[in-house]
Structure 1
Amino acid sequence: MMTTKARGHLWRIAALSKIAVICIATAILLSAPRPANAGEIPRFAVEPSWPKPLPNNWILGQVGGITVDWQGHVWLIHRPRSLTDDERGAVLSPPRSKCCVPAPPVLEFDADGNLLRAWGGPGEGYEWVGREHGIEVDERGFVWIGGNADNDNAILKFTLDGQFVMQIGKIAPSKGSNDTTQLGKPAETAIDKDAGEIYVADGYGNHRVIVFDATSGAYKRHWGAYGNPPNDDKQPPYDPKAPVSQQFANPVHCVKIAHDGLVYVCDRINNRIQAFRKDGTFVKEWFYEKNTLGNGAVWDLAIWPDPKQSYLLSADGENNEIRIINRADGTIVGSFGRGGRNAGQFHWVHAMAVDAKGNVYTAEVDNGKRIQKFRLTSDALR
């Protein structure tokens, strides 16, 4: 007959066995791959050594635009004329210092930060812009650039090697927001490859989005805020307590096209994103940091590259952060960055792009004058 002491030992053994089973089962669950619909939001870590040092004693000025092409290569356009004398001391006459030399305006890098090519500036058969702003590379192998100096009322089309192809508009005075032949200091472009059209955020001078045939340059359509005809009436300074503006403010700073046909526009000073159908029909709007004054809170957008394009990433050059926005309802689900000079911080983060692997590339103007890479560290592409 089993003693009380023996039964106690058996009970303890049984209890320990149950605990062991629970621990083993928990370990298996924690180590198992998570389902594809885990829904992680994007998170990032800055790569402080990206890009690799430029050759030829080159230096970047204000970076007016950045994009990623179909190969995963990173293209930027910067402003050599924004460099101060002490930054470009090597090209002064006589030289002021050993460093540096302004890099050509357009540069292409691979994802590892190696420089692949550089070109740009005045050339035969066209007029270069006065202040470089915005760059887009389409899948047919063409590079589109713009500018926002006083008479930069055109966009220019080049081959990947910098051979001039076409110009829409002129480097000449603007004709207003309802003229179909001339632009108004355009800020950014986006290509609809299926329709063969180019959309222009137009811009620092005009108050609209305008669409052209990307091959012929023929005018297609344009619209202002809420899909209404734009006008150039003088607008009061932004006031967060006032009724929302029925017009885009200057600048209309970005345009992006999602796979589902929604066209997103940055109304920078009014601190809002507006979404449209491709015909200009207004769909919805979202406001961010509505009390932001100065240069506004919505500078650029990038569309997340998962199959559903679940998120928008929004660069805010006044608050110097990047917001991660649920594209379905406009809610903010995360953010990164802050004002500062260290790696991962920003001063006037002006433009941004994301590659197919979820790496984010940023460009800074004013005296930021740099590009940065943020590597995806979460499982947010499923």
Structure 2
Amino acid sequence: MTTLFGLLLVTAAHAADTPKFKVDPFWPKPLPNNWIMGQAAGVAVDEQDHVWVVQRPRTLTDDERAASLSPPPTKCCLPAPSVMEFDQEGNLLRAWGGNGSGFDWPENEHGIYIDPKGFVWLAGNGNRDGQILKFTKDGKFVMQIGKAGEQTNSQDTTRLGKPANMTLDAAANELFVADGYYNHRIIVFDADSGAFKRMWGAYGKPPTDDKVPPYDPAAAASQQFANPVHCVRIARDGLVYVCDRTNDRIQVFRKDGSFVKEMFVEKNTRANGSVWDLEIWNDADQSFLINADGANNEVRTLKRDSGEVVGRFGRNGRMAGDFHWVHNLAIDSHGNIFTTEVDTGKRAQKFVLQR
């Protein structure tokens, strides 16, 4: 028989195992060259623990980018390049991005991923964005999957539909794409050739574009991914985690698209959903999922096996450690969390693991 004392001991031990975080208010350091950041639409960490941010220079107001106007009404500021690499101390190491030869730069930057080979992958969710871009870390163009243009449908394997984010299964050299803000699917490509491999929708069924009613927490679970399908992550045990953002749920699959289970998070969230991004905690068992929620403006720690919330930080606000539309997150090898914010948030933050 379990006693109340025993339950308290278990609860205390469980709480002690849950990671905790504290904001670093001085990260990143001020940008050089009179630069300013727009909506920060993605963040990733590479094998050197460098932090990569993709941001939207075109979202700056005239007041924010005043120094770029002619004549300049004030002395600050100039739009920073879309892709920025920072070190652990918050120093900007390099920056690049924008239109170039041989590829379609996104109308609206969205999502960044650094694969194990060091390639930089970018997505976009503008009205005509239907492509994924692959670059070297220096910004040299390597490959485009899909194409810009009029949106088609979730059956089209020649292009994407406002893709949100991506991740690589290194063992199979396959790129998994959360597709997206227009389409309703996960789609998989060969990471070298860009060849289509397979795709699926909610519950592992063929993806559809059938119109569905707005999310209602009291209704039966939707049989379709809502827009946006906002993230995809792969655990070491081969499970694939998908952010079905406005349906307030995480759906879990095997790599072949077969459905395993689903977990709801803050199920009463209507607005624009609770599951904006996920990262997998890097202990031996990958025990937790770290969940960014831009509607409720908090970051949560979930048990990976059950989705139970065991920790959280953040609130809606402007101070260091607060959020406004926290959009993406990434975790470095030390367990520190990096977040980015869109809408009027327009910043990146670092949260240091407390040991």
- For the aligned pair, the TM-score class normalised by the smaller chain equals over 0.9
Give aligned-pair identity as a percent: 65
1:282 aligned to 2:259? yes
- In structure 2, list runs of 5 or more residues that go unmatched: 1-13
Is the Cα–Cα contact under 8 Å of residues 15 and 310 in structure 2 kept in the other structure? no
Distance 1:131 1:345 in 2: 25
Residue 88 of structure 2 is aligned to residue 111 of structure 1 = yes
Deviation digits for residues 285-343 of structure 1, max 9, x if unmatched?
11111111111111000111111111000000000001100112211111111110000
Once the two structures are superposed, what CA deviation does each residue of 1:123-149 show, in whole Å capped at 9, x if it has no partner?
Answer: 122121100000001121210001001
Question: If the length of structure 2 is used for normalisation, what is the TM-score?
Answer: 0.95
CA deviation digits over 1:89-110, x for unaligned, max 9?
0000110210000000000001
Q: Is the counterpart of residue 254 in structure 1 residue 218 in structure 2?
A: no
Q: What amino acid sits opposite 1:121 in the alignment?
A: G
Distance 1:319 1:124, change over 3 A: same
Q: 1:61 aligns with which of 35, 38, 42?
A: 38
Secondary structure at the aligned position of 1:90 is classed as helix
Q: 5+ residue gaps in structure 1?
A: 1-36
| C-alpha RMSD of matched pairs (Å) | 1.3
The residue that corresponds to 2:250 in the other structure is 273
Within 5 Å, give how 1:1-382 maps onto structure 2: 40-378=17-355
Cα deviation for residue 175 of structure 1 reads: 2.2
Structure 1 residues 42-85: Cα deviation after superposition (integer angstroms, max 9, x where no partner): 00010000011110000000011001011111001000000000
TM-score with structure 1 setting the length? 0.88
* Cα distance in 1, alignment partners of residues 272 and 226 from structure 2: 11
State the AA in 2 paired with 1:309.
Q
Q: Compute the displacement of 1:39 (Å).
A: 6.0
Which residue type is aligned with residue 71 of structure 2?
A: P
Contact 2:245 2:274 survives alignment (8 Å): yes
SS of residue paired to 1:152: coil
- Number of aligned residue pairs: give it: 343
Task: Write out per-residue CA displacement over residues 237-296 of structure 1, whole angstroms, 9 at most, x where no aligned residue.
Answer: 111111110000000000001000000000000000001000001011111111111111
Deviation at 1:38, TM superposition (A): 9.9
Is this contact kept in 1: 2:280–2:290, CA < 8 A?
yes
Moved over 3 A (4+): none
Q: Distance between the aligned counterparts of 1:372 and 1:217, measured in 2?
A: 33
Q: Secondary structure at the match of 1:66?
A: strand
Counterpart AA for 1:127: D
Give the deviation of 1:174 after TM superposition: 2.3
**One-letter amino acid of the counterpart of residue 319, structure 2:** N
Q: Which residue identity is paired with 1:339?
A: N
The one-letter code sitting in structure 2 at the alignment partner of 1:285 is E
CA distance in 2, matches of 1:227, 1:46: 38
The amino acid of 1:200's aligned partner reads V
In 2: Cα distance, 1:39 partner to 1:338 partner: 22
Give the distance between the partners of 2:102 and 2:203, measured in 1 at CA: 39
2:327 and 2:342 in contact (8 A); partners too:
yes
Letter of the structure 1 residue corresponding to residue 79 of structure 2: P
User: Counterparts of 1:224 and 1:203 in 2: how far apart (Å)?
Assistant: 11
Q: What's the counterpart of residue 6 of structure 2?
A: none
Alignment-derived partner of residue 11 in structure 2 = none
Question: Which whole-Å deviations, capped at 9, do the CAs of 1:331-380 have from their partners, x for residues lacking one?
Answer: 111111111000000000000000110000000000000000000003xx
Q: Secondary structure at the match of 2:252?
A: strand
Counterpart amino acid of 2:48?
A: Q
- In structure 2, the residue corresponding to 1:171 is in which secondary structure? coil
For the 8 Å contact 2:104–2:148, the answer to whether it is kept is yes
Q: Work out the CA distance in 2 between the residues paired with 1:104 and 1:147.
A: 15
